[in-house]
Amino acid sequence: MIKSILAAVSLFACSSASPLALSDKSAGTGPYPASWFTESSLPNFTFYMPTAPTDSQLPVVLFGEGGCENNGTRFEPFLTEIASHGFLVVANGPPNGTGKTNSQYQRDASAWVSARAGKPGRYAAVDASRMAAAGQSCGGLETYLQRDNPYVSYLGIFNSGFLPGGNASSNLPDGTTSEDPSTISQVHKPTFYFLGGPTDIAYANGERDYHALTGVPKWIGNFNVGHSGTYRQPNGGVFGVAAVQWLQWVLQKNATASLFFTAGGAQAANWTEVESDGLGSL
C-alpha cells in the first residue's frame, strides 16, 4: 500500500513538476491552422479548433492533462497540432487555470459539444458522433472513466495505467479518483496506449493494462523518452505525430493513417515494444 501511494504521488508529482518549455505558438502542421479559445458557457475548458471554417467535418477529442491539472494550455503545442488536422479538441481546464480536474470534466465537455454540434454557428462542422477521450498520466485515469461515457467511442492512454492498490472509493492525495487495475475488465472500447518506455513511471502499469485488456481492438507502443513525453516540443513532437495518426484513423477513417499502427509505421518512427490485437475490426 505504501508502495502504491508512493507510486501515485510520483506519478502526479513527476508530471506537474516537469520543466516548462517555452510554449511554441505554432498553428500546427496540419491543413487547418488552429488556435485555442474559451467559451463563457463552459468556462472550465480550453477549446482548440481550426481557426478558419473548414470544408470537412470535425470529430471531437476530450483531453485530460497530466497531474489532472486544471490548465487547458498545459499541452498547447500537442493539442494545437491535433486540431490543425481537422479536430475540435476540448481540454480540461481554462488557460492557466489552477487546481485539479476530475473525470466529470470530460463528461461535461462531451454533453456540451453534443448539444451544439452540427447546429448553425461555430460548431456547425463538428461531428459529435465521432468522439475520443484521451489523457496523459493522471489525465489517462480520467480517460479510463470515460468508458461509460456514451458519447465516447475510443480511449487514448498516454503515459498512464491504473495505479496498483487504487480503487474507486479511494482518493489520491490530490483528491482525484483512482481505480484498481482489475477495473480494466470494465473497459469495452478500443484503446490505444502511448508510453514512454521503461523509464516512464507509468510504463509497468500501462503495459499491464494493455495485456489485461480483452475483447476490444488495442494497440500499444513506447517511445523511449520517459514519462513526460514530447508534448511541449514544437507541435507536440513524436507523441503529436502518433496521436494525429491514431485520431485520423479511428475518427476520420483515414486508411493511410492506419498504416502507422498496422504496417510498421510506428516502428519506422522509432516506437518500440509495439503490440496490437484486433485492429482489423476498426
Ligand X SMILES: *[C@@H]1O[C@H](CO)[C@@H](O)[C@H](O)[C@H]1NC(C)=O
- Point out which span in 136-144, 150-158, 209-217, 250-258 binds ligand X (CB under 6 A): 250-258
Q: Which of residues 188 and 282 has its CB atom nearest to ligand X in the complex?
A: 282
Question: Containing H/E element for 3?
Answer: helix 2-17
Of 66-74, 182-190, 192-200, 272-280, which segment contacts ligand X by CB under 6 A? 66-74
Among 19, 43, 53, 120, binds ligand X (CB under 6 A): 43
C-alpha 107/C-alpha 87 separation (Å) is: 18
- 195 closest CA partner among 146, 170, 230: 230
- Confirm or reject binding of residue 169 to ligand X (CB under 6 A): yes
- Among residues 245, 247, 251, 266, the one that binds ligand X under rule CB under 6 A: 245
If one asks whether residue 165 binds ligand X (CB under 6 A), the answer comes out as yes
- Does 199 interact with ligand X (rule: CB under 6 A)? no
258 makes contact with ligand X (CB under 6 A) = no
38, 185, 256, 267: which one binds ligand X (CB under 6 A): 256
Buried b (16+ CB within 10 A) or exposed e, 119-134: eeeebebbbbebbbbb
Examine residue 270 and tell whether it contacts ligand X (CB under 6 A). Answer: yes
SS3 category, 213: coil
Cα Rg of the chain, angstroms: 17
Is the distance from CB of 181 to CB of 208 less than 8 angstroms?
A: yes
Contacts with 52 (C-beta within 8 Å, 6 or more apart), sequence order: 32, 33
Could you give the C-alpha distances from 117 to 48, 123, 124, 125, in angstroms and in order? 15, 5, 6, 7
List the one residue from 138, 248, 251, 266 that touches ligand X (CB under 6 A).
248
Among 35, 44, 54, 114, binds ligand X (CB under 6 A): 44
- From residue 83 to residue 102, what is the string marking binding to ligand X with x (rule CB under 6 A)? ------------xx-xx---
- Interface contacts to ligand X, rule CB under 6 A: 20, 23, 43-44, 70-71, 73-74, 95-96, 98-99, 165, 167, 169-170, 245, 248, 254, 256-257, 269-270
